[in-house]
Structure 1
Amino acid sequence: MVIAYSARDRSLSDQYYGRDSKHKVIRQDICQYLKENEETYKFFVEDDVLFEHHLENMKQDGTFGGNMELVAFAKLSKVDIKVYQPGFIYVIKGTEDEDEEEEGECPRQILHIAYHDWEHYSSVRNLDGPFTGPPEIKITTAEQKTEEEEEDDEFDSKEKVVLNACPDISIRRIRRLLKKYKGNPDKVIDALYEENNTENDIESTIENNLENAIESTLENTVENSVEMRSDEEIIEQFNDNNEQIKVKEELETKVDEVITLKPKKLTASERKREAKKKQKEAKLLKEQAKAARRSKREKEESTQQNTSLSQNMKEMYI
């Protein structure tokens, strides 16, 4: 590897944007993020320096920053930052492990920064390039094995226990969960079962709520259609029969679609969006049914008033 662009902000700019010219933007973004999260980061400033004073200095070009600013940029941009020191490498995570599981298997961007001479940060690039644009760092270590290689590895006893209980889960995820739960296969199995049951409960609740809303709308429509009506209302009702039949058929079709819908495995964010969408649809159906009943009552009241007025006119004439 080769080192390019000294200074922290220029190094981050080179790694994140593929050029060092955005270093001022990165510096200001870091300062703004630290200001918004003062309660989290103020304890990492030296005791004799006010946090506000530290931020004011950091906004100025030429002021050296440290590990706190790297952490802030990682959290702000949701990237991992791999810091290389002589004989030591560490990674600053941009998100927590729980957030990573919700996001799925998509890898986060990794920025490669060298820390040398105990005060300088530099961008890391390959010896054979590219020297401009995205760095495209190539690293071949045991950590970077592909998923196919991991699946070809021989499973240990704990992994086999989890695989037997949850055969649909990838070995890559099982190993990550075993690491999270300190090698306890029972806790991993419980976590996977709980996650699966939660998904099924959410889908079942959404489906039942939608079916109940549609059935309630159908019942209200039928009840309103068989209420006592005057002769004039019955004549008017004949003209509306076709429209009511059409609405009923559409609602029944929606019920059939909900019943025959096969649940598919969704991500956490997709399940939330789907739940909100279905809740809005159910709410819309309820509002439509309510509007139909209100319109019906208004029509009945208007008809009764006209009938009463006609009767009064007859009595006056007599």
Structure 2
Amino acid sequence: MVIAYSARDRSLSDQYYGRDSKHKVIRQDICQYLKENEETYKFFVEDDVSFEHHLENMKQDGTFGGNMELVAFAKLSKVDIKVYQPGFIYVIKGAEDEDEEEEDERPRQILHIAYHDWEHYSSVRNLDGPFTGPPEIKITIAEQKIEEEEEDYEFDSKEKVVLNACPDASIRQIRRLLKKYKGNPDKVIDALYEENNPENDKENTENDIESTVKNNLENAIESTVESNIENSIEMRDDEDIIEQFNDNKEQIKVEEKLETKVDEVIKLKPKKLTASERKREAKKKQKEAKLLKEQAKAARRSKREKEESTQQNTSLSQNMKEMYI
């Protein structure tokens, strides 16, 4: 088979109408159908996006759609959509089993769509044509064997949830992970996402650790500076002031050692977190960062006030010496 028209709506247009020029009509029809059946499809939209916002985005050209839009088109057009993936084929039916019994014996139209690279849909045609007009797909022996194997197994509700969220995953992989996570589809979706995005998870975790360590270091330095300023208030002569300068030099050395330890901690291999744990940690880090920022601001204000007080005490001590002389 040959693949053409690398876009979901263009692929559906090529399969349904025999040309890709009616892709805008298909996009608008899908959006209208989803709007009319919001109660059925709103649960398949991500939690951080409203169903209305999702539909507004889908109306714009260039917006990627997913499995939900394919299901919607199959239902509104009363067609079956056969989706091809490497070593795996599944069929989206345009009518339920009870509806099929009421229809006449005429076979429904089947659209052939390839799903690849985690986000792209393409129209499928035979290598020997036709290349225009209605596709006339000829099923090979290998494809027929895969199809028969898949038709022997019906997806349960949990498998359908995972498949809708991760359509690129194979049914064998989904079943294995569902067994591993005791039938929890949310954990399976997180696991599939992490398997396909390991570098992003590692980078996010490393950034969280680095941010936490740096914030703790800043807090430790501010606390040390504040403590040194409090001690300096009790100084009354030139010898105490010189000693304070020496203490500051020692403090700089301590800070350099702390920074070295920070670099060592950052290099440690981070523990991989799930998507939900990353969200909780991110919110927690934001709150901690805000609190530390307020503490640092208060420490700097206190530092300025105490430095002014120290300068006044030093000036007073100098004046008293001059009067004594």
The TM-score bracket by the shorter chain reads 0.3 to 0.5
Name whichever of 222-231 and 22-31 sits farther off.
222-231
Tell me which residue corresponds to 2:201: none
Structure 1 length-normalised TM: 0.45
Q: What are the ranges of 5 or more consecutive residues in structure 2 without an aligned counterpart?
A: 198-204
In structure 2, C-alpha distance between the alignment counterparts of 1:68 and 1:165, rounded to whole Å:
9
**Equivalent residues of 2:223, 2:299 under 8 A apart:** no
**Equivalent residues of 2:44, 2:68 under 8 A apart:** yes
**Equivalent residues of 2:222, 2:296 under 8 A apart:** no
Q: 1:205-226: per-residue Cα shift (whole Å, max 9, x none)?
A: 9999999999999999999999
- Consecutive aligned runs of 4 or more in structure 1 exceeding 3 Å deviation: 140-318
Q: 1:79-129: per-residue Cα shift (whole Å, max 9, x none)?
A: 000000111110000001111122132110000000011110000000000
Q: 1:128-177: per-residue Cα shift (whole Å, max 9, x none)?
A: 00000001111145997999999999999999999999999999999999
Q: Residue 230 of structure 1 is aligned with which of 226, 231, 237?
A: 237
Name whichever of 284-293 and 171-180 sits farther off.
284-293
**Equivalent residues of 2:33, 2:72 under 8 A apart:** yes
Change beyond 3 A, Cα 1:141–1:52:
same
Q: CA deviation at 1:178?
A: 28
Change beyond 3 A, Cα 1:48–1:168:
closer
Q: What are the ranges of 5 or more consecutive residues in structure 1 without an aligned counterpart?
A: none
In structure 1, C-alpha distance between the alignment counterparts of 2:78 and 2:97, rounded to whole Å:
12
**Equivalent residues of 2:87, 2:146 under 8 A apart:** no
**Equivalent residues of 2:18, 2:134 under 8 A apart:** yes
Change beyond 3 A, Cα 1:210–1:178:
farther
Q: 1:49-90: per-residue Cα shift (whole Å, max 9, x none)?
A: 000000000000000000000000000000000000111110
**Equivalent residues of 2:78, 2:95 under 8 A apart:** yes
**Equivalent residues of 2:90, 2:150 under 8 A apart:** no
CA RMSD of aligned residues (A): 18.9
Tell me which residue corresponds to 1:96: 96
Change beyond 3 A, Cα 1:269–1:202:
farther
Change beyond 3 A, Cα 1:24–1:105:
same
Name whichever of 171-180 and 301-310 sits farther off.
301-310
Q: CA deviation at 1:28?
A: 0.2
Name whichever of 306-315 and 266-275 sits farther off.
306-315
Name whichever of 113-122 and 172-181 sits farther off.
172-181
**Equivalent residues of 2:79, 2:94 under 8 A apart:** yes
Report sequence identity in percent: 93
Change beyond 3 A, Cα 1:56–1:140:
same
Q: Secondary structure at the match of 1:21?
A: coil
**Equivalent residues of 1:125, 1:135 under 8 A apart:** yes
In structure 1, C-alpha distance between the alignment counterparts of 2:99 and 2:290, rounded to whole Å:
31
In structure 2, C-alpha distance between the alignment counterparts of 1:309 and 1:177, rounded to whole Å:
76
In structure 2, C-alpha distance between the alignment counterparts of 1:44 and 1:27, rounded to whole Å:
18
Length, aligned pairs only: 318
**Equivalent residues of 1:11, 1:123 under 8 A apart:** yes
Structure 2 length-normalised TM: 0.44
Tell me which residue corresponds to 1:20: 20
Change beyond 3 A, Cα 1:192–1:101:
farther
In structure 2, C-alpha distance between the alignment counterparts of 1:261 and 1:274, rounded to whole Å:
18
In structure 2, C-alpha distance between the alignment counterparts of 1:194 and 1:117, rounded to whole Å:
16
